[in-house]
């Protein structure tokens, strides 16, 4: 048996779904967190002996989709024939929610209405006569509070839905038989529906505080959405998040953790003392060392996830989106693009998926193309490693990485706007500002643990396999003879060397660094893991101790990088294409091969150009001369510009043609 969860955005569908299934899907206090359907069986206490699958759907205002994620919902309830629908209604906004409710009631599938967030109504003195509402709608109505563990009304509500499965719903309001292509007729019908809804609301709802009264929340909003103060606050908030996670609390915990990892590595090496040297190197250095180097950074990532979860939960994201809208408009995007970027500080994949809430196709594709310029959780270890080894742990390295990522997003958006020849379709921006709520520490903790679990699993699988392969490839040559550590004869060296040549103009043309950058495309943590393996280092994070023992210098010396080339290498890894998984996500969101290849090309070009400029200009400033490989690098840059111009000309040549096609069919748009 399948029960679909449908309702307006930000009515609390996923929170309810999590409570009923015990899952830990992402929730947040803004509309459009869930962008795809998810299903899982109900907990035993709710389902009894039945096998009940709950289906969580993206929020929708009505059956006619406006953005792609809304379409998923209407498509599902129309075609997938769920056995019952739980319509989650935001009880604080009954007057808007019931429009969709009356549409759902017309489908014939039994509907149970959950008046969610009823606790807020109680606090604000709004009363809804559930019994009366139930009579008017012809369906059961329950008051629910999904965020509460007890007395939340969920058990009764879902029990009723299960018992109704398979019955037929009688609609309280039926749309007249009209020609759906006749716009005027449809409009008139929709008006009638709203009149019907308005009458019900007037009958069942009593408000002590009218929505239009100015509250404390509005006063806060005035500051947070102020074009100057709002942006300053946002910058401070993000700086605080990065500072706590990457400079203060994160490293503090990581320090302690790394101590344990080293002890463990030592213990493993002791156990292997009598085994062949190759085996010991493979297990102690390759597996434990490489994976350990990545896991050592886990505390930084966890603290970051925790803080971002708090931000997402309190309602601040919608305000950020609103305050950033005018700035993003200048580069052809909108405030909607801000949310994927903030989510991107955690992980690029959900960030790219959240682009679905953007209505305009060009804007949506552009955002998913650029969102990963913001360093994600997997890039934190890379940043922390370089900040520690080359810049004595300076916090400006991470701040600069994020800030520069944002600059690249703006520049990239301008570039894409130029290439695609910005279609002057009016880009409207409307964002619901949800009520603020105190963020739940319990939820943030759970969300952090969930991500930590994923991180450890990744370290134990993909990273482990990659490290093992790297270790094996650098131990043997092509005829499987053991070679000396760091030898140019190894398999790894011979594969990575051709890539390394390309990197000479960037200042890091050695095979070890090239290999780490390449494995980074599989997963960015690999950069750290591979460096640990090829240079036989583990204690990356412990900067203070490293400094005392000269370790930081040792790391820096082994890699043979100056601070200029180190920064170039770091930025190269940050701004080249993200991992394969993110590229896969881009592919499914863009639905266009030329956009996908454009995205990969743009990211490769950006990473290369940034590293080239930093290396050449940096060397010129610090040493008074250009770095090696300036001319070949310049030629590469010129080639990129030529490609860009050619692409732009091609796109623009097809532009008119495309537009002409677009009027008759949609096929022309997918170029």
Partner 1 sequence: MEDKIRLLDAEVGKTYTIKEINTDDDEMNAFLFRLGCYVGEPITLVSKKKKSCIVVIKDGRYNLDQLLSDAILV
The answer to whether the beta carbons of residues 545 and 311 sit under 8 Å apart is no
What binding mask, one character per residue, do residues 224-243 give for partner 1 by CB under 8 A, x or -?
-xxx----------------
Residue 64 binds partner 1 (CB under 8 A): yes
Q: Scan residues 409-438 and list those touching partner 1 (CB under 8 A).
A: 426-433
Edge-first strand listing for the sheet containing 84-90: 38-41, 53-56, 2-7, 84-90, 111-116, 141-143
- Three-class SS state of 313: helix
Task: Tell me how far, at minimum, the Cβ of 327 lies from partner 1, in Å.
Answer: 11
Can you list the positions of beta strands (E) in 523-570? none
H or E element in which residue 360 lies: none
Nearer to partner 1, 138 or 211 (CB): 211
Binding-site string for partner 1 from residue 4 to residue 43, where x marks contact by CB under 8 A and - marks none: ----------------------------------------
Quick one: 377 or 434, whose CB is closer to partner 1?
434
Q: How far is CA 200 from CA 8, 99, 111, 136, 193, in A?
A: 18, 11, 17, 7, 11
Of 122, 131, 187, 488, the one binding partner 1 (CB under 8 A) is 187
Nearest CA to 455 out of 629, 339, 300 is that of 300
Q: Which stretch binds partner 1 (CB under 8 A): 104-112, 189-197, 499-507, 553-561?
A: 189-197
- The binder of partner 1 chosen from 56, 119, 325, 477 (CB under 8 A): 325
Q: Whole-number minimum distance, CB 317 to partner 1, in Å?
A: 12
3-state secondary structure of 666: coil
Count of alpha carbons within 13 angstroms of residue 660, beta-carbon side? 5
* Residues 65/56, Cβ–Cβ less than 8 Å: no
- Find tokens 């890379």 and name the residue: 382
Which of 74, 92, 354, 526 contacts partner 1 by CB under 8 A? Answer: 92
Binding mask 41-60 for partner 1 (x = CB under 8 A): --------------------
The answer to whether the beta carbons of residues 546 and 592 sit under 8 Å apart is no
Q: How far is the CB of 63 from partner 1 (least distance, A)?
A: 10
Instruction: Examine residue 214 and tell whether it contacts partner 1 (CB under 8 A).
Output: yes
Contact criterion met (CB below 8 Å) for 602 and 414 = no
Least distance to partner 1, CB of residue 237, Å: 18
Nearer to partner 1, 149 or 213 (CB): 213
Nearer to partner 1, 95 or 468 (CB): 95
3-class secondary-structure state, position 309: helix
- Contact between 74 and partner 1 per CB under 8 A: no
CA torsion sign for 619, 547, 532, 241 is negative
Residue 218 lies near partner 1 (rule: CB under 8 A): yes
Q: Whole-number minimum distance, CB 225 to partner 1, in Å?
A: 6
Residue among 518, 519, 523, 522 nearest 502 (CA):
518
Site string for partner 1, 301-320 (x = CB under 8 A): -----------------xx-
Asked if residue 99 binds partner 1 (CB under 8 A), the reply is yes
Query: Taking CB under 8 A as the rule, which mask of x and - marks residues 436-475 in contact with partner 1?
Result: ----------------------------------------
Alpha-carbon distance of 297 to 283, in angstroms, equals: 20
Spatial separation of the C-alpha atoms in residues 355 and 341, rounded to whole Å: 9
Per rule CB under 8 A, count of chain residues that contact partner 1: 42
Half-sphere exposure of 484 (CA within 13 A, CB side): 3
24, 95, 163, 553: which one contacts partner 1 (CB under 8 A)?
Answer: 95
Residue 195 CB, nearest approach to partner 1 (Å): 10
Closer residue to partner 1 in complex, CB, 247/357 = 357
Using CA atoms, how far apart are residues 613 and 568, in angstroms rounded to an integer? 8
DSSP string, 129-141: -HHHHHHHHTS-E
Q: What CA–CA distance (Å, rounded) separates 509 from 498?
A: 9
Nearest to partner 1 of 272, 327 (CB atom): 327
Which residues bind to partner 1, rule: CB under 8 A?
A: 61-62, 64, 66, 92-96, 99-100, 183, 187, 190-191, 194, 211-212, 214, 218, 221-222, 225-227, 318-319, 321-322, 325-326, 329, 334-335, 426-433
């Amino acid at each position: 048996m399948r029960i679909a969860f449908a309702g307006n955005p930000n009515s609390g569908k996923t929170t309810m779904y999590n409570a009923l299934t015990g899952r830990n899907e992402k929730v947040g206090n803004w509309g459009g967190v869930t962008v795809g359907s998810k299903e899982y069986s109900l907990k035993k206490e709710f389902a009894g002996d039945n096998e009940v699958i709950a289906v969580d759907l993206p929020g929708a205002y009505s059956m006619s989709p406006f953005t792609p994620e809304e379409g998923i919902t209407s498509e599902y309830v129309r075609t997938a024939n769920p056995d019952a629908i739980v319509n989650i209604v935001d009880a604080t906004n009954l007057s808007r929610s019931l429009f969709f409710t009356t549409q759902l009631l017309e489908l014939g599938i039994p509907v149970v209405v959950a008046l969610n967030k009823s606790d807020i109504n109680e606090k604000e003195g709004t009363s809804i006569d559930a019994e009366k509402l139930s009579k008017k709608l012809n369906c059961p109505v329950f008051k629910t509070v999904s965020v509460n563990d007890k007395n939340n009304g969920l058990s009764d509500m879902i029990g009723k839905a299960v018992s109704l499965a398979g019955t037929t719903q009688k609609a309280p309001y039926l749309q007249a038989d009209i020609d759906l292509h006749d716009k005027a007729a449809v409009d008139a019908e929709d008006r009638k529906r709203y009149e019907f809804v308005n009458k019900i609301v007037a009958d069942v709802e009593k408000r002590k505080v009218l929505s239009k009264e100015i509250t404390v929340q509005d006063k806060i909003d005035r500051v947070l959405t102020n074009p100057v103060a709002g942006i300053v606050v946002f910058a401070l908030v993000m700086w605080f998040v990065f500072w706590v996670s990457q400079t203060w609390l994160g490293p503090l915990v990581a320090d302690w953790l790394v101590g344990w990892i080293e002890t463990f590595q030592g213990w493993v090496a002791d156990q292997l003392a009598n085994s062949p040297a190759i085996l010991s190197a493979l297990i102690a250095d390759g597996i434990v060392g490489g994976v350990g180097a990545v896991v050592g950074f886990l505390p930084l990532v966890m603290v970051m996830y925790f803080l971002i979860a708090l931000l997402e939960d309190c309602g601040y994201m919608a305000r950020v989106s609103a305050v950033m809208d005018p700035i993003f408009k200048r580069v052809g995007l909108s405030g909607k693009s801000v949310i994927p970027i903030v989510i991107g500080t955690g992980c690029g994949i959900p960030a790219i998926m959240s682009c679905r809430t953007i209505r305009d196709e060009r804007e949506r594709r552009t955002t998913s193309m650029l969102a990963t310029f913001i360093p994600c959780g997997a890039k934190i270890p890379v940043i922390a490693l370089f900040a520690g080894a080359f810049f004595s742990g300076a916090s400006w390295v991470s701040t600069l990485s994020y800030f520069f990522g944002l600059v690249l997003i703006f520049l990239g958006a301008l570039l894409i706007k130029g290439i695609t020849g910005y279609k002057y379709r009016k880009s409207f921006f409307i964002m619901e500002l949800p009520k603020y709520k105190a963020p739940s520490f319990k939820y943030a903790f759970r969300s952090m643990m969930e991500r930590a679990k994923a991180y450890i699993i990744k370290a134990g699988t993909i990273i482990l396999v990659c490290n093992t392969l790297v270790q094996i490839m650098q131990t043997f040559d092509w005829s499987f003879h053991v070679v000396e550590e760091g030898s140019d004869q190894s398999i790894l060296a011979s594969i990575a060397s051709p890539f390394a040549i390309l990197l000479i103009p960037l200042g890091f043309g050695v095979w070890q660094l090239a290999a780490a950058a390449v494995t980074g495309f599989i997963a960015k943590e690999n950069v750290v893991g591979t460096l640990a393996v090829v240079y036989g280092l583990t204690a990356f994070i412990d900067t203070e101790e490293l400094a005392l023992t000269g370790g930081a210098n040792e790391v820096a010396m082994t890699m043979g990088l100056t601070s200029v080339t180190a920064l170039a290498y770091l930025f190269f890894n940050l701004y080249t294409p993200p991992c394969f998984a993110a590229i896969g996500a881009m592919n499914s969101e863009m639905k266009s091969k030329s956009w996908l290849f454009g995205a990969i090309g743009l990211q490769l070009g950006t990473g290369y150009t940034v590293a080239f400029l930093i290396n050449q200009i940096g060397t010129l400033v610090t040493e008074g001369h250009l770095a090696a490989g300036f001319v070949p690098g310049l030629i590469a840059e010129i080639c990129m510009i030529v490609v860009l111009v050619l692409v732009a000309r091609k796109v623009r040549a097809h532009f008119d043609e495309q537009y002409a096609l677009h009027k008759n069919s949609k096929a022309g748009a997918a170029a």
